[in-house]
């Protein structure tokens, strides 16, 4: 567990993911946190306040000017790690495979590197390595 993960855990949350993006000419380093029952704005602020001094000394991305954003990953979120699938058991997901086929259904189980999806066609087992991209979604 990294120091950043330990800090986030001490504040009662878990590190979900990080990403570096460029928007409107600005570099942004995003830290996504999660916890059972959801993450509050106050928790995001506390995590940001704890990480800012660390990142001032050891920037997570290169460049002179960048911004730190801390938030929850949201209801519809990217699933890029096996842990993301485990945290999303029972939720609906849209999965695009390396062969460009798409599977949509409920995440039923995660066993090692095999993800079981309950789709309209029945249960489908997918190797994590065969997934090009995946995200949860809400059906309205």
CATH number at 38 reads: 3.30.300.70
First and final CA of the chain: distance in angstroms?
37
Closest CA to 136 of 71, 68, 89, 101: 89
Strand order in the sheet with 26-34: 14-23, 26-34, 66-71
What residues make up the domain containing 131? 82-136
Of 104, 132, 140, 107, the closest CA to residue 120 belongs to: 104
Q: Judge whether residue 126 has pLDDT over 90.
A: yes
Is it the case that residue 136 has pLDDT exceeding 90? yes
Shared-domain flag, residues 96 and 118: yes
44 has a pLDDT exceeding 90? yes
Same domain, 47 and 16: yes
Q: 97 and 60: one domain? A: no
8 and 67 in a single domain? The answer is: yes
72-93 mean pLDDT: 93
What distance in Å separates the CA atoms of residue 29 and residue 41, rounded to the nearest whole number? 18
22-31: average pLDDT: 91
Residues 92 and 129 grouped into a single domain: yes
Mean pLDDT of 16-29: 92
Q: Is the pLDDT of residue 7 over 80?
A: yes
Please check whether residue 89 lies inside any domain of the structure. yes
pLDDT of residue 64: 75
Q: Are residue 57 and residue 111 in the same domain, yes or no?
A: no
């Amino acid at each position: 567990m990294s120091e950043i993960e330990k800090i986030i855990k001490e504040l009662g949350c878990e590190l979900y993911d990080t990403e570096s993006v460029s928007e409107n000419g600005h570099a942004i380093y995003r830290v996504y946190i999660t916890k059972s029952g959801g993450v509050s704005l106050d928790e995001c602020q506390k995590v940001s306040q704890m990480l800012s001094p660390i990142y001032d000394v050891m920037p997570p991305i290169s460049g002179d000017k960048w911004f730190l954003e801390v938030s929850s990953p949201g209801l519809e979120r990217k699933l890029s790690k096996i842990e993301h699938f485990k945290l999303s058991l029972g939720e609906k997901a849209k999965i695009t495979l390396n062969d460009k086929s798409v599977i949509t259904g409920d995440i039923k189980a995660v066993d090692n590197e095999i993800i079981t999806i309950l789709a309209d066609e029945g249960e489908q087992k997918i190797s994590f390595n065969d997934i090009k991209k995946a995200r949860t979604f809400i059906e309205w």
